[in-house]
Amino acid sequence: MPMTKKTNRTEYESPRITPLDRPMTTRPPLSHRQAQSTREIAGQDPLALLEKYGSPVVLFDGERLKKTYKSFVGAFQERYEKMHVAYSVKTNYLSSLVALLYQQGAKMEVVSGFEYAVCRRLGIPGTDITFNGPWKKNEELREAFENGSQVNLDNHDEVERVLKIAKGIPGKKKIGIRVNMDVSYPPWDKFGFNLTSGDAMAMAERILDNDELELAGLHMHVGTYIPNPDQYKKGAAALVELALRLRDKFGIAPKSLDMGGGYASSNTLRGQMLQGTATSPTPDMYAACLTEPLLHAKEKEGYEPELILEPGRALIDECGDILTTVVSVKPLRGGGRAAIIDAGVNILPTAYWYDHEVSPIATEPRPVEKVKLFGPLCMQIAVIRASVVLPPPRCGDVAALGRVGAYNFSQSMQFIYARPNYLLALDGDIHVIRREEGVEDALALESVPSTLMPVEESP
């Protein structure tokens, strides 16, 4: 009799073509285009801001952030009411932005003691903070438990430390389990316990067996800038299934299921043919897929966990612009022109991933050409746009680089240039939420051994 060999391979699914439900961008040829010029950003005059705060300057639009948050949450809540957002603080931890999102109703998700401190300094209670991430120090775990935060376990070594730390702290400590699974290719397998191998189930059983701990939730994070909302449907179905298996076995199901982040912003990936505004799924599309397994579990199984989402870029990318000035124009050896602007990858590291939108500011209508945009860093690879259609650049021209809100401040570097002013437009006012750095700020933490100090010349 032929033997059937068991494999763990997931079944092959034939590719599907999903028609766009929005018009594709069709653009006239270059020779017929005029530059679109912007005169207002976040309700502000960009030229006046540059005059007052120097160039470059980073501007966040508080009203836009409120709207984006509302429409993201709304898309999910209208389908599945029992949900909340835990904003992924690492995406942008400028205190004012974290405070603004908290004011709108977001809870917080942090992945380090540093981010935890950012939230606590704002008065955010520990019960509104989930502590995630693959490396949490002992003292950080202790503080999180004492403050009633949920700690999401990532690995076996961490579990051993958590068990010891939890013993000394009264009350049940809230635990989440990070689960990784094969819903994206390549799968994100760095975080948490694997579902297919049974590791996640075994870990859940271990927590349920422990009187000091409460299994408060299951967590997944399947990737970032996920273009296919179906991945969330698969992930949510897998978490629901695991939760129901636990309920069958122990009579208790986790109170919350956390689907992590990864929802795309409408930035355009480098090299992508169409604009991100035409290709990125909307919150509605994500919500329709992700909530389906939860609604099914509610109806068929009477299981209605709190749904937690951890968006980062989808909330905050749209809300930031960098205002920048052309400082030099030069011909390129192979033809065409390059412009050097005063904003570099030191404050815009996502230029390595995205073709950020470039909007000329306050120029008269002029025909356009293809231009290469370099930042000011003394490195050939520090390119902001390899090719962008703009009016022929001139020194002193001003432009806005759009959708820069996510990951740029938190991944910015003090490399060659110090960071500029960061502004927030809110309720008609402009606030400096992080002032320009000076040499003294950058050097404040350094000390030089006295033997290395230059000898002062005697008079």
Ligand X SMILES: Cc1ncc(COP(=O)(O)O)c(C=O)c1O
Chain residues that interact with ligand X, rule: CB under 6 A: 88, 91, 109, 132, 221, 224-225, 260-263, 310-314, 406
- At residue 36, φ and ψ (nearest 5 deg) are -85, 125
Paired strand residues for 108: 87, 129
Give least dist CB 219 to ligand X, A: 7
User: Residue 146, CB half-sphere, CA atoms under 13 Å: how many?
Assistant: 9
Q: Which is nearer to ligand X, 253 or 316 (CB)?
A: 316
Cα(167)–Cα(141) distance, integer angstroms:
12
**375's tokens:** 């930042």
Which among 295, 309, 278, 293 is positioned nearest to 242, based on CA atoms? 293
Instruction: Give the tokens for residue 153.
Output: 């376990």
In angstroms, give the least distance from the CB of 159 to ligand X. Answer: 18
Token couple for 400: 């806005």
Q: Using CA atoms, how far apart are residues 389 and 323, in angstroms rounded to an integer?
A: 17
What is the spatial distance between Cα 427 and Cα 201, in angstroms, rounded to a whole number?
49
Which residues, in sequence order, are bridge partners of residue 193?
179
Task: Round to whole Å and give the CA distance between 389 and 366.
Answer: 12
Q: What is the CA radius of gyration of the chain?
A: 25
DSSP per-residue letters across 282-326: PHHHHHHHHHHHHHHHHHHH---PEEEE--SHHHHGGGEEEEEEE
How do 320-331 and 57-61 pair as beta strands?
A: antiparallel
Residue count of the chain, please give it.
459
d(CA 304, CA 301): 9
Cβ of 363: how many Cβ atoms within 10 Å?
Answer: 19
- Which secondary structure element, helix H or strand E, spans residue 236, and what is its range? helix 230-250
CA–CA dist 276, 355 (Å, integer) = 9
* Cα separation values, 340 from 54, 362, 380, 404, Å: 17, 19, 11, 19
Q: How far apart are CA 110 and CA 151, in angstroms?
A: 10
